[in-house]
Amino acid sequence: MEEIVNPTQAKFAPITDAPGKFTVEATAGKARAAKLETAHGPVETPVFMPVGTKATVKAMLPEELKDIGAQIILGNTYHLHLRPTSELIKSQGGLHQFMNWDGPILTDSGGFQVFSLSGLRKINEEGVEFKSHIDGAKFFMSPESSMEIQMNLGSDIIMAFDECVEYPAEKSRIKESMDMTHRWLERCKAAMTRKESLLFGIVQGGLDIELRRESLKQITSVDLPGYALGGFSVGEPIHLMHDLVKEMGHEMPEEKPRYLMGVGTPLDLILMVDAGIDMFDCVMPTRVARNGTLYTWQGKISIKRSEYKNDPSPLDPECECYTCKNYSKAYLRHLFVAGEILSSRLNTIHNLHFYLHLMKKARKAIQDGVWESFRDHCLARFS
Amino acid sequence: MEEIVNPTQAKFAPITDAPGKFTVEATAGKARAAKLETAHGPVETPVFMPVGTKATVKAMLPEELKDIGAQIILGNTYHLHLRPTSELIKSQGGLHQFMNWDGPILTDSGGFQVFSLSGLRKINEEGVEFKSHIDGAKFFMSPESSMEIQMNLGSDIIMAFDECVEYPAEKSRIKESMDMTHRWLERCKAAMTRKESLLFGIVQGGLDIELRRESLKQITSVDLPGYALGGFSVGEPIHLMHDLVKEMGHEMPEEKPRYLMGVGTPLDLILMVDAGIDMFDCVMPTRVARNGTLYTWQGKISIKRSEYKNDPSPLDPECECYTCKNYSKAYLRHLFVAGEILSSRLNTIHNLHFYLHLMKKARKAIQDGVWESFRDHCLARFS
């Protein structure tokens, strides 16, 4: 029963061992349409990456993700490290084969979850000791072990291990932390030995523009195939994030992909594409779908509302997704009220389709030279 | 928002208004391969009908049911009557359109659930007063209202409203009840005015062969397009059900479909096909799938067991289902332990595929003249 899958014979082995090529194909102001090559195929940007925390995008099959246009998905290092462990996934041929997804995978570093989910932690220069949120067992994670875990998973894009500072925090605290994140990045790069994977560095610096610029300088002093903005979605007022990324998002290297971690709403995505960001991920569209909240071009819908009880119309008449083409609001409300699994499925299909097609349309608008009017149309409808 | 769908314009309107033709195509002893025409297409027997209690076969899409060979599904009158109500479903174009299933649907009469789920009930010649298991609201159901509800749903096969006697029960109690079920059947037939639907009568009589034969005589004295055996799966020792159906199943009219309600395991199905039964339904394959129990040709598997932690092999190497072709036991165990929705989905696909293909193989074996060897092969593996 303990047969091991040889990773080199894995069903979804990397198709290239020299990934990382990044091509900006069109621009409109700071917004860009680009393409990033990974070991499991290209990613066309701007792109939204559905979150598959525990080796599954909740309620979805890989084929369904492909059908609605998902190009790349995200896995969570913290969760997979605790259960089923990265060693187990490696023994099963890596994360692609384990979960039957043949496209690109990005994994976070575990840093964010260590800070957000683990109640008890001790942090020092070496790394972080923390307790599992599942059973309280003690773990230690360092830049080196985060790299090892992500290499075990066989990720196409590996995120550097960083410290994510709470909000609000003193400037001195943020400064110390971002300096350590820089030193940790050097250790991540030294530990990264898997040539099929791309290591992305993470810019920190809280909500202070000076510190952000200093962190950007530090992080980009390490030559890497991509850079991210981390440390948002920690409770700060959303307009502060908008202002900051508008100010300095486009100062990130032009010739490398720019990834804004953990953001956001449809409105956030359009604003941040306009600020020069290429890549996004967020649990929101999948999480709120399971709670009955649906994004439409007419605004957000809470499907449990009694006004939809007898409503034979689709969620969104402008939507081409499987859910909208085949089911009424009345049926979706019934499924939600009855607590049926199909409710989570149909809602998730719709919300992810909405996000993925929003980015697809943004890309086309940039390429077609109509970004500004598309952006303004979106802002008017989402605001 | 209160727009009403005209049922005659429903997406999945009946394709014939003269259904009911039943053709026995091959026999092997008492076992038969046959075909039943319904308003939404033919049903080839022996057949297993997946249970879609609340207008959804839990965790499954209609297209997935088709893919694994489902021909006809079952809906539960009791549940749909309480929520979202049959009037609402009628206003939405009927159950087929509401749930996006274009194949045949059989609905039970509500009788069984009134007895099994509703704690408080008062029964008399007129019908049954009962309290909703959801909120305690009082309802009254009679042969006439059961017919009306099922006609509202637009069912292709409508089951007569019967009383299901508890086990064990006195002979006099069983006799009185089955006599009333007979009188109720006459009222059901009189109330059935929808020519696209087929009304099936239900034979009762507990576990007493004499009473069963008497009930069979009563029920078949009403000319109907099909007959069922009800009143099993109420806690009786399973071998008593086997013995009784073996004894009298084939005494049911040869030229009409024979349906054994609420049964059973793969072993039950093979034994009861051998006794002359054509149609089956049971919540077991879908319910136990969600609890991590999988049927395979090597026996039942509890996927949560730690022995499967590192097991890269499929659930069943003899199985051609989507789950077995694409996922390992290690992954399925991980999903189950992590409580992921995908666990219910992949497990349900496998178990339903197992049941549906078991009946498909049984049909082919009867047609090919190799039923006895197929039956014995199954019994050896399932016993």
Most B-contacting residue of A310, A323, A347, A349 (CB-CB within 10 A), to test interface: A310
Residue B298: inside a domain, yes or no? no
Give the model's pLDDT for residue A1: 37
**Residue A325: what residue type?**
K
Residue B87: inside a domain, yes or no? yes
Residues of A in contact with B60 (CB under 8 A): 342
Rounded to a whole number, what is the largest CA-CA distance in chain B? 61
Give the model's pLDDT for residue B1: 37
- CA–CA distance, B245 with B278 (Å, rounded to integer): 12
Partner residues linked to A22 by β-bridges:
A36
- Is there a catalytic annotation at residue B368? no
Return the number of CB contacts < 8 Å for A and B: 122
A100 vs B: CB within 8 A: yes
Residues A332 and A373 grouped into a single domain = yes
Q: How many residues does chain B have?
A: 383
Give the model's pLDDT for residue A10: 67
Residues A136 and A150 grouped into a single domain = yes
B58 vs A: CB within 8 A: yes
Nearest CA in chain A to B324: A100
Residues A274 and A335 grouped into a single domain = no
- Is there a catalytic annotation at residue B223? no
Give the model's pLDDT for residue A118: 65
- CA–CA distance, A35 with A363 (Å, rounded to integer): 11
Per-residue pLDDT tens for A12-33? 888 887 899 999 999 999 999 9
The order of strands in the sheet holding B127-131 is B121-124, B127-131, B138-141
Residue A10: inside a domain, yes or no? no
How many C-beta atoms surround the C-beta of residue B167 within 10 A?
Answer: 16
Domain boundary among A282, A303, A321: A282
Residues of B in contact with A335 (CB under 8 A): 55-56
CA proximity to B256, closest of B107, B34, B105: B34
Q: Using alpha carbons only, how large is chain A's radius of gyration in Å?
A: 21
Nearest CB to B344: which of A54, A309, A341? A341
- CA–CA distance, B315 with B327 (Å, rounded to integer): 8
How many C-beta atoms surround the C-beta of residue B337 within 10 A?
Answer: 17
Residues A168 and A300 grouped into a single domain = no
CA proximity to A214, closest of A204, A227, A222: A204
- The total of structural domains in chain A comes to 2
Per-residue pLDDT tens for A192-204? 999 999 999 999 9
Give the model's pLDDT for residue B4: 54
Residues of A in contact with B335 (CB under 8 A): 54-56
Nearest CB to B307: which of A1, A84, A338? A1
Residue A77: inside a domain, yes or no? yes
B1 vs A: CB within 8 A: yes
Residues A255 and A352 grouped into a single domain = no
Residues of A in contact with B94 (CB under 8 A): none
**Residue A56: what residue type?**
T
The distance from CA A124 to its chain's CA centroid, rounded to whole angstroms, is: 27
Domain boundary among A245, A266, A282: A282
Tens-digit pLDDT profile for chain B (383 aa)? 345 555 445 678 888 878 999 999 999 999 999 999 999 999 999 999 999 999 999 999 999 999 999 999 999 999 999 999 999 999 999 999 999 999 999 999 998 888 787 666 889 999 999 888 888 889 899 999 999 999 999 999 999 999 988 899 999 999 999 999 999 999 999 999 999 999 999 999 999 999 999 999 999 999 999 999 999 988 899 999 999 999 999 999 999 999 999 999 999 999 999 999 999 999 999 999 999 999 999 999 999 999 999 999 999 999 999 999 999 999 999 999 999 999 999 999 999 999 999 999 999 999 999 999 999 999 999 98
How many C-beta atoms surround the C-beta of residue B1 within 10 A?
Answer: 11
A91 vs B: CB within 8 A: yes
- CA–CA distance, B382 with B298 (Å, rounded to integer): 8
The distance from CA A93 to its chain's CA centroid, rounded to whole angstroms, is: 23
**Which CATH number covers residue B118?**
3.20.20.105
Residues A174 and A200 grouped into a single domain = yes
Location of structure tokens 């300096």: A179
Domain limits for position B141: 7-287
Task: Return the H-helix or E-strand segment holding A124.
Answer: strand A121-124
- Residues of chain A scoring pLDDT < 70: 1-10, 118-120
Give the model's pLDDT for residue B11: 78
A7 vs B: CB within 8 A: no
Give the model's pLDDT for residue B126: 96
Residues A25 and A120 grouped into a single domain = yes
Residues A126 and A248 grouped into a single domain = yes
Residues A278 and A136 grouped into a single domain = yes
Name the residues of A annotated as catalytic: 108, 281
- To the nearest whole angstrom, how far is the Cα of B31 from the nearest Cα of chain A? 36
Residues A293 and A230 grouped into a single domain = no
Residues of B in contact with A83 (CB under 8 A): 334, 337-338
Domain boundary among A265, A282, A299: A282
Residues A55 and A65 grouped into a single domain = yes
- CA–CA distance, B15 with B17 (Å, rounded to integer): 7
Nearest CB to A92: which of B99, B328, B345? B328
Q: Is the ipTM of this complex over 0.95?
A: yes
Most B-contacting residue of A6, A56, A85 (CB-CB within 10 A), to test interface: A56
Provide, rounded to the nearest whole percent, the portion of chain A with pLDDT above 70.
Answer: 97
Between the alpha carbon of residue A312 and those of residues A128, A336, B63, B150, the distances in Å are 53, 16, 21, 21
Residue B45: inside a domain, yes or no? yes
Residue A6: inside a domain, yes or no? no
What DSSP line would sit under A54-120, residue for residue?
A: TSS-TT--HHHHHHTT---EEE-HHHHHHTT-HHHHHHTT-HHHHHT--S-EEE--SHHHHHHH-S-
- To the nearest whole angstrom, how far is the Cα of A120 from the nearest Cα of chain B? 22
Q: What b/e sequence results for B264-286 when a residue is b if at least 16 CB atoms lie within 10 Å of its CB, and e otherwise?
A: bbbebbbbbbbbbbbbbbbebbb
Residues A274 and A293 grouped into a single domain = no
Residue B209: inside a domain, yes or no? yes
Give the model's pLDDT for residue A233: 87
Report the SS3 class of residue A160. Answer: coil
Q: What b/e sequence results for B302-318 when a residue is b if at least 16 CB atoms lie within 10 Å of its CB, and e otherwise?
A: ebeeeebbbbbebbbee
Residue B375: inside a domain, yes or no? no
B293 vs A: CB within 8 A: no
